[in-house]
A and B are shown apart, each in its own frame.
Chain A
Amino acid sequence: MTNKLDNVQLTIIVGHFGSGKTEFSVNYAFKMQEAGHNVALADLDIINPYFRTREITDDLEAKGIRVISSILGNKASHPMDLPSLSPELNLLFQTDQYYGIIDVGGNPEGARALGRFSDGIKKTNYNMYMVINANRPETETVETVLAFMQGIEEKSKLKINGFINNTHLVRETTPEDILKGDRLSRQVSEATSIPVMFTSYIEDMVDMSGYDLAGEAFPMKMLMRPEWL
């Protein structure tokens, strides 16, 4: 059997909890599936106990997206904060069967879970994007974003090659929040020579048409938070 590692399509999403990393990952999975890819979404979050990809497993699977998370179950009704990762994860970088998306836990300790798979991932042309939310106290300045980025890279043993500006205040988000994140993301991009890939936002909440935003505009639906919460 030959490993067509050059054909592996793998996008890893990292960022602080609250950055909106899972919301982006899930929306991105749906978008890639709609674009005709055979998508598998892996929940590698060992940091957050709630608001996780596995909570909408049924919706994802209904669209034909494969959900990979814990060996102990993929459903919200089997909550675990144990690092019980599924060996199915290897499918994402040892085969070219899937367009893989990996949603990684919300801090450098969470990225440690990724480190275990780094040897396999390094053999592929992976992308690792870091989500920036300028309204999170831990990532509100260039310095703190860079320090966070360094922590993620050290623990995951992988390199970030793109940023996503996903600055928000949940339902109080205004265009000004996104523009604040835009300024921060551009500064981080300049400091690192790493491009901003996307600016993402909830389309029902803010109209960003007519703004010059870094990277590709990525309108999203709010999927991880029920309307009443």
Chain B
Amino acid sequence: MAKKLMKGNEALAAAAIAAGATHFFGYPITPQSELIEYMAREMPKAGRCFLQAESEVAASYMVYGAGGAGARVITSTSSPGLALKQEGLTYMVAAQIPAVVIDVSRGGPGLGNILPQQSDYFMCTRGGGNGDYFHPCFAPASVQECADLVVEAFDVADKYRMPVLILADGLIGQMMEPVEIPEVTKKPIDKPWAADGGHVKRGEHNRINAMVLPADGLEELNHVIQAKLADYAANYVRYEAIGIEDADIVLVAYGTPSRACKNVLKKAQADGLKFGLIRPISLYPFPKEAFDKINPNCKAVISVEQSCGQMIEDVRLSVLGKFPVKFFGRTGGNPIIPEAVYNYAKEVLGGKA
């Protein structure tokens, strides 16, 4: 298929349809509205269900219901909307319901603004609801990666029966790039657990339930969830590493800031400086193994985020004190400009920051 020009939001939607999404539930919010608009237009044409819910909370329970009945289901929102969906998400974790949840993140806290920001890292990776769980979470840095990761997210969700998050900052959602929407031929796996009336004999029941009253029963469920997360974390580490083996400075960035950092690497190379980059593609599991490959004489690792610093906690846990960990960030929706990162990194290298 020839490449087309699409916004990240459109590519996320088109790839979800290509991946066989049967149901979309959502509520519009900038900067992800093109996604829901695309779904409103294209899902009915494909004979699938599009429904605009009355709120984000309602949408998340529609996802719970449809997912529990075995549908390939997706919802999308932006930061404050994801905060509202958290109750539904923790219920889905408990009820072991697969779903793809997209966050095209914007400025916060609160209603914040409509500009791109990466302050949803904790909410997307840790799980913003109650209970013990993390969210499988992918972070695309291009429109093509948006499309590819959505397809993968559906399979991961089905395999582990969990909601899988895609965290794309607002700029990734809004920017235009050439993209090839993948052709998906693989059939979704069977869901014998689904409450669809078709998998059980008369008198038997498949139950979808987020409440377990006996202590031993709930402990057992928690062990099941933890085992699934451990297996997932062992198999889905994704990252891109550039020049870290002999770097004096290693930058760590995901999403849009990683694009600025790639430009920083070019500037450094032109000036004869050795900079490297780790770009996590999976935010949970965080690619800790990449940090083992860093030059032992590296001067510092810098977490570059469009936030006040959230991923830096995972960076510290991965560096484990081997190198100084520094932070460069902008917030409020202000962009991370390569020049600013480069100047800061040079100060760090010179021992001035």
Contact = CB atoms under 8 A, between A and B. Distances in A.
Place the interface of chain B in its size category. Answer: 20 to 34
A50 B171 contact: yes
B7 A18 contact: yes
Interface string B30-50: 110010000000000000000
Interface string A95-129: 00000000000000000000000000000000000
Interface stretch (A3-11, A151-159, A166-174, A184-192): A166-174
B178 A170 contact: yes
Contacts of A229: 171, 175, 256, 259-260
A135 B5 CA distance: 6
Given A49-B31, A50-B170, A135-B178, A79 B114 contact: yes
A18 B114 contact: no
A170 B3 CA distance: 11
A228 B141 CA distance: 13
Given A81-B30, A228-B260, A228-B262, A49 B174 contact: yes
Interface in B1-60: 3-7, 10, 14, 30-31, 34
A77 B333 CA distance: 8
Contacts of A77: 334
Interface string A64-87: 000000000000010111000000
Nearest to A78: B113
Tell me whether chain A's interface is mostly helix, strand or loop, or mixed: loop
B329 interface: no
Contacts of A168: 5
Contacts of A51: 174-176
B222 interface: no
Interface in B71-127: 113-116
Interface in B241-256: 256
Nearest to B179: A169
Nearest to B181: A137
B170 A135 contact: no
Contacts of B6: 18, 136-137
Contacts of B256: 229
Interface string B164-202: 000000110011111000000000000000000000000
Contacts of B113: 79
Contacts of B174: 48-51
B171 A18 contact: no
Nearest to A168: B5
A51 B7 CA distance: 12
A49 B333 CA distance: 12
Nearest to B263: A228
Contacts, number: 69
A81 B262 CA distance: 31
B338 interface: yes
A81 B78 CA distance: 15
A222 B52 CA distance: 37
A155 to B, nearest CB: 16
Contacts of A17: 7, 34, 176
A212 interface: no
A95 B338 CA distance: 43
Given A17-B7, A135-B5, A228-B338, A79 B115 contact: yes
A21 to B, nearest CB: 12
A133 interface: yes
Interface in B333-353: 333-335, 337-338
A204 interface: no
Interface string B255-278: 010011011000000000000000
Interface pairs A-B: 10 shortest CB-CB? A228-B263, A169-B178, A135-B5, A50-B174, A18-B176, A172-B178, A49-B114, A81-B30, A49-B31, A228-B338
Interface of B: 3-7, 10, 14, 30-31, 34, 113-116, 170-171, 174-178, 256, 259-260, 262-263, 333-335, 337-338
29 contacts: A17-B176, A18-B6, A18-B176, A48-B174, A49-B170, A50-B31, A51-B176, A79-B113, A79-B114, A79-B333, A81-B30, A135-B3, A135-B5, A135-B178, A136-B6, A137-B4, A137-B6, A137-B14, A140-B4, A168-B5, A169-B3, A170-B176, A172-B178, A226-B335, A227-B263, A228-B262, A228-B338, A229-B259, A229-B260
Given A17-B34, A81-B114, 20 more contacts: A17-B7, A17-B176, A18-B7, A18-B176, A49-B30, A50-B174, A79-B115, A81-B30, A135-B3, A136-B4, A136-B5, A168-B5, A169-B3, A170-B176, A170-B178, A226-B337, A228-B338, A229-B171, A229-B256, A229-B260
Interface of A: 17-18, 48-51, 77, 79-81, 133, 135-137, 140, 168-170, 172, 226-229
